[in-house]
Structure 1
């Protein structure tokens, strides 16, 4: 039983200690650091300056008709007789007071002047002084804003300037800086501070290295039986990581290779180039691209099949209406102006009589919808279209769809728009 009683008492003591330890600290009353008159003794008709500094207060006042004042400031007074001034600082936790006395010496036989009841003017009050943002990177700027009451002069240091009682100004400090606003009038001055923290400028990311990451080759058509020699269309698409110039060459299954070619890029991305290769022997052939600079890279090996026929197959009976010729021209062949580029493409179609021709534009970047051209008699007609290919080498041709099949020449252009 004694042990049980001892344990109960011990638990009660521990609970009380824990509750006391967890109790939040009580709020404290304001602190008056200084409150004094200088000089403390004056002759009748002379003035003295009250000065004070308070912290932790939400309201500060001085009696003898002075009233509300800032946390820190000065006030010129001219009491007619020896006077005791009381400063009261208060907040939610309570109030604190301090007194200072001004002794007025009056020569014997003279009548003292009436005591001062209302000061002629109050010192300035700084309502607020702040910076936005409070942290910037080196080379950046922030805005100082303020509001002051009862001031004849407002200055901001270091080296910002003199301003009106309220306003804003933009500053760009070279390093972390504490700005001090001082408001002044004939009764004294008040000040406030705000700080701007300047952060180091982050290092810029390294520029991407210029490299060729891919080269892909295709051949059109992949298989054909035709009169020889027959010219195949070879296309290469090169992809890079950044701006620069690529050098490359075409390599063929017959052991030959083209002169060195160039392709200029203004940024990361892909461009396409087209070339023709005439073959005159039956068999399987291939072509590929070897990138020489900025790094060596070999494309896929694009294979294609050709069957040479000594005599073309007998054509079907010639219809009354036939396309007998088609040719394409593009102007300009090289474009170096601003992007997007604009090329004017012209097709000339010749027929042996009246009728309607159906055709389409076949470009390296896509195929147009089907177009029509109506002939009232045998002869030639032209049609134009605009074209804005991506930068690089591009090509186009016209394919006749009806009344008979025919393919125009291939026009290759260079787009160096910027």
Structure 2
């Protein structure tokens, strides 16, 4: 029998090890790396970057001359023009025409130069949008990550509460059987235990849903088991809002993608004024043309001779002066100036909004710090009170109702402490994120 027991214990141990090894452990940094690699929204944003880069290269090519070539053939029956003599003949013949032309814009009000600058700003805008999406993904994952860590610790606390209630139920059962307590006291503990078991089930469901959200953020298979690793504990400190809030706001404004997007749009709007003004200037272009003809109506000259004899080329310059465009250019310039003024206002609005968000984040972090300190004291006192009352209960000097009140106070204090700790983790990390543009769960 002992041999069989050892065999089954070894088998169960191997199965447990295989289950644990199949579970994927992830730190917060691991989650961010996987999300930035797999997130589909981010992939689309990177594609937009590549498109903007191609558009920039395309705008640069407008500074180059354009070259075109054409070849045509003609079959003529009856009366037609002989391409060799330019006289009418009445016979069947074939002719071939070749042409190479080139045109080059010498001046168009710097429209192409301004277009290149706008395309550069568009590329920079797409890069900034990509960074903004990265930041949003980071914040979302951090929020879910903190929720998971919070629920994991709450669930452990729930399980400890159920174990405590089970032990208390055993004590009461013995006292009831000995005639020291009424059966109603047993019902009170059973009710408490049932409530704790229901809370445990609800928290496990919440944990499952938050883990599902994490998997979707990381684009992982839904059936894959993951375990999130809590960051190392650290000593928290209060943030001095009076001494460094202006510095934090200014640095955040220069780093935050939301603000940079508005700033780039403002610069684009300013360039667009110059682009629309270029329509008022004349356009100067040069054109070069080279052509020749071959026809089988002339049996005395071969192909090379005909091509050389019929060769023609020329260079021309053109000047296009805009005189009246139904006031279209005039109103486009007016519109572009108003768009620029609007974009400047939007940039300032975003800066004001960002300043408020950062200061609010600092206030939230400091409030969380105060809440955390108070929660630590409340937890310590409620724990000592519960331990003392539990001893009194076991010695028969306290009723079940009084014990449950003390226990609920302790459970609430423990839950508030866990919540305050992770809330402080998150809020201080958000402040550091605005300040350094790097999110670290410390």
Report TM bin, short chain: under 0.3
Q: Which of structures 1 and 2 has the bigger CA Rg?
A: 1
Q: Which structure is higher in helix share? A: 2
> Which structure features the higher share of strand residues?
1
